[in-house]
Every structure is written in C-alpha cells, then in structure tokens.
Amino acid sequence: MRCKLFVPGSRPELFAKAMAGDADAISIDLEDAVDESRKDWARDEVAKFLRSLPPGHAKTIIVRVNGVDTPHFEKDIEAISGPGLDRVNQPMPASGDHVCACAEVIRRVAKGMGLAAPPGIMANIETPTAFRRAAEIATADPLVKGLQIGFGDLLEPYGIERYDPRVVLHFQLGVKLAAAEAGIFAYDSAMADVKNVAFLREEAETARRLGFLGKSAIHPSQVAVINDVFRPTEAEIAHSLKVVASAKENASKGVGAWTVDGKMIDAPFVARAQAVLAVARRLGLVQD
C-alpha cells in the first residue's frame, strides 16, 4: 500500500475513477469531507459502492468513519461492514479506550453479519494527546493494524510549521516507534499543498527511510510521486535477495550473524529484506 488516495464520501462520481487510478488503495472519507447535512446520504452511497465491488479486485479499500463519540459512528460501521471493506480508519482517538470502543462495535457488527473476520483498524494520530499516547493507541486492541499521521489537525491549530522538515521528522519518528512497539505499520500523512511536489517527495522519502508503509494523497497528481518513492530500487531488491538467500544458508549452519556486501547481517536485517521483497513481488519486480 504505497499510496492511498483520499476520496470524499459525498462525491460518489469519483469512486470509479479512484478505482481505475494508480493508487494501491483508496480511502473514502465519511468524516471531515462530508457536511453534517449530508452524512446519511453519503453513508448510503459509500455502502452501495462497497457492495458493488467485484471479488478479487486489486485495491485496498479503507473508509474513514466518524468519531466514536458522534451519533454517526455506529451507523457508519453498520453500513460499510462487509466483504468490500479492508480497513476502518478511526479519526481522533484520544486513548486506548477510544480504540477499544471502536473495535467492540466492529466485532459486534461483523459477528451479526456472519463475516469470517472483522476489518482491521487504522488509527489516526492527529492530536497532541494522541501523539503522547501513540503507543497506548497502537497496542490497545489486536484489530489495530496501523497508525496514520494527520498533520493538519496535529499541527495547524497550534501554529506549528507544517512544512518544516525538522518538525515533520520529529512526529514521523515518534509515530513510527509507537507502531513498531505494537508490531504494526505506520502510514504517513497527506499533504494539502498539492503543487509543492518537491516537498511531497522530500517528506515521502523521509517516511520511507523511517520504515513507513506508504503515504496518503489528497489529489491524483500526487500518486505517481508517492508510488515512485515507495518502490524498492533495483539495488535494494538485489541486496535483499542476497540477504534472504544467505540467511537460509547460515541458519543451516547455526550462524547467527554474518556479512553480505560488507554489511553485518542478523535477524532484524533479514526481516527488513523480506519486507522489501514482499513489496517487490507484489509489484511484479521479482519472482519467487
């Protein structure tokens, strides 16, 4: 999931276009992008779209629901749950309790519908409180599969410069470490300045170096840049193939640490190489 494209839930005419685009995932928004007066209508439109998806399509489908403390939350979960949904994007969790409340409703609805498994949760880190409690949120429930930064709400209201790389790095690293503590993925924030392509690439490259899974886009023009940044390079693929092959050989000899291309290798480096190859295989860059 290198790039996921945000699509307003109130713009159903864009759903098919997003599905036909190059983003690995689409994230339909029922929260901020939908006016209060159109919440019910947008929810129905999103539900119809999810039910219409053909089995075996290539996209990851995420829906950002309204917060657990709103009258829309349970209605959202009831409407969107089903085979077409991969992840629930939970906005504004302030604690692990908020996440557990979300997970409880997801499980109850999934059980009532007879689903084989409930969808996972991508929890947003988009308030100072959430950032302080990021590890608590990440470890609150097994349904939490990832954390996503939301720089707009996290920084803008407090006069913190959104486009200062030093600021960005601080929050990216904090969220990544919280996700790492829970053994889940971290996902980078969208960027509202659509024309600032240079900073988009710089921010995405920083996220990739920190081990983020990918980055959100709010406009289709951002997708190509993000996809390019999060694509494994030929050198990375070649090195990873050597690492994985050497791991099998050294494991049979009982060796715990060795060198590849002059670099020391042990279990954490093998895990990283396997992750690189998993992405490369999905993109058709390497065969088993």
- Mean pLDDT estimate for the chain: 92
Residues 195 and 252 reside in one and the same domain = no
Task: Summarize pLDDT for 68-82 with one digit per residue, the tens.
Answer: 999 999 999 999 999
**Is 129 in the same domain as 14?**
yes
- 275 and 144, same structural domain? no
Total tally of structural domains belonging to the chain: 2
Categorize the per-residue pLDDT at 288 as very low, low, confident or very high, splitting at 50, 70 and 90. low
Cα–Cα dist 130/72, whole Å: 21
- 176 within domain boundaries: yes
Tens of pLDDT along 22-54? 999 999 999 999 999 999 999 999 999 999 999
| Residues of the chain above pLDDT 70, percent | 100
Mean pLDDT of 172-193: 96
Secondary structure string (H, E, C) spanning the chain: CCEEEEEECCCHHHHHHHHHCCCCEEEEECCCCCCHHHHHHHHHHHHHHHHHCCCCCCCEEEEECCCCCCCCHHHHHHHHCCCCCCEEEECCCCCHHHHHHHHHHHHHHHHHHCCCCCCEEEEEECCHHHHHCHHHHHCCCCCEEEEEECHHHHHHHHCCCCCCHHHHHHHHHHHHHHHHHHCCEEEECCCCCCCCHHHHHHHHHHHHHCCCCEEEECCHHHHHHHHHHCCCCHHHHHHHHHHHHHHHHHHHHCCCCEEECCEEECHHHHHHHHHHHHHHHHCCCCCC
Q: Which stretch of 18-22, 148-152, 259-263 has the lowest confidence by average pLDDT?
A: 259-263
Is residue 287 one of the residues assigned to a domain? no
Residue 278 has what pLDDT? 77
Domain end marker among 186, 201, 229: 229
Same domain, 65 and 189: yes
pLDDT higher than threshold 80 for residue 268:
no
pLDDT-above-90 percentage for the chain: 77
Residue 131: predicted pLDDT: 98
Q: By residue range, what is the domain housing residue 139?
A: 3-229
122 and 193 inside one domain: yes
pLDDT at 261: 81
> Does one domain contain both 277 and 215?
no
Q: What is the pLDDT of residues 124-178, one digit of tens each?
A: 999 999 999 999 999 999 999 999 999 999 999 999 999 999 999 999 999 999 9
- pTM of the model as a whole: 0.87
Q: Which of 229, 257, 273 marks a domain boundary?
A: 229
Q: Reply yes or no on whether the pLDDT at 220 is more than 90.
A: yes
